[in-house]
């Protein structure tokens, strides 16, 4: 397991064959803290002016409700959702939870909800318009070249006088000239 917060600590606990396994913090900084800013930027969370963070209606709540539905199908997820303060869990519960929530097995609806957050269908802020424009430009360059573009390929298109990409993407490309 690589790239998963707390994976090494979790592997040590599982390797010790402790059943039930203690549920303790396995990292110094929780995943919630690590992902807080990206979630805010992608508008899964409410505006940062609020004292208490919350989920945004248009992106955060639909994703959270979908994930809750998946998580609640597991015994451990049901315990979490009931508000139980869980200090330990059986390895069978942890395996069931892990198999149900594994990233490789993301449901199509979950993928769609995440994609809509990253590339909104109707961007509502300037930063979203620029981000979607940049994604469109990178995908356009990839399509033109028939391969994954390099940074140089992208900037070659940005600097062209007669660009190959559609006019709708020129604003995003021009933004890269001024940064």
Q: How many residues does the chain have?
A: 179
Query: How far is the C-alpha of 136 from the C-alpha of 144, rounded, in Å?
Result: 12
Contact 125, 117 (CB under 8 A): no
pLDDT (0 to 100) of residue 29 = 58
pLDDT at 8 exceeding the cut of 80:
no
The two three-digit tokens of residue 110, written as one number: 């979950």
Q: Among the listed ranges 5-14, 57-66, 129-138, which one has the minimum average pLDDT value?
A: 5-14
Identify the pLDDT of residue 33. Answer: 66
Mean pLDDT of 147-160: 89
Q: Which of 16-30, 116-130, 142-156 has the highest mean pLDDT?
A: 142-156
What span, in angstroms and rounded, lies between the C-alpha atoms of 74 and 100?
7
Q: pLDDT band for position 143 (50/70/90)?
A: very high
CA–CA separation, 42 vs 22, rounded Å? 34
**pLDDT band for position 74 (50/70/90)?**
very high
Which pLDDT band holds residue 147 (cuts at 50, 70, 90)? very high
What is the C-alpha end-to-end distance of the chain, expressed in Å? 37
Mean predicted confidence (pLDDT) in 59-77: 88
> How high is the pLDDT of residue 20?
85
| Residue 87, both tokens | 């200090």
Instruction: Please give the pLDDT value at position 18.
Output: 74
pLDDT score for 173? 84
Report yes or no: 121 and 147 within 8 Å, Cβ to Cβ: no
CA 44 to the chain's CA centroid: 10
Summarised one tens digit per residue, pLDDT across range 97-139 is: 888 887 777 778 888 888 887 777 777 778 788 888 888 889 9
């Amino acid at each position: 397991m690589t790239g998963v917060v707390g994976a090494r600590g979790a592997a040590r606990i599982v390797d010790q064959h402790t059943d039930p396994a203690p549920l303790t913090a396995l990292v110094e900084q929780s995943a919630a803290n690590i992902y807080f800013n990206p979630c805010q930027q992608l508008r899964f969370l409410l505006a940062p002016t609020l004292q208490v963070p919350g989920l945004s209606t248009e992106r955060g709540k639909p994703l959270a409700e979908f994930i809750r539905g998946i998580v609640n199908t597991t015994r451990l997820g049901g315990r979490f959702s009931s508000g139980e303060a869980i200090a330990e869990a059986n390895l069978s519960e942890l395996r069931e939870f892990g198999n149900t929530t594994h990233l490789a097995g993301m449901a199509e609806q979950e993928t769609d909800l995440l994609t809509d957050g990253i590339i909104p269908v109707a961007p509502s802020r300037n930063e979203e318009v620029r981000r979607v424009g940049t994604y469109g430009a990178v995908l356009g360059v990839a399509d033109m070249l028939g391969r994954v573009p390099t940074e140089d390929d992208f900037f070659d298109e940005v600097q062209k006088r007669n660009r190959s990409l559609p006019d709708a993407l020129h604003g995003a490309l021009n933004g890269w000239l001024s940064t």
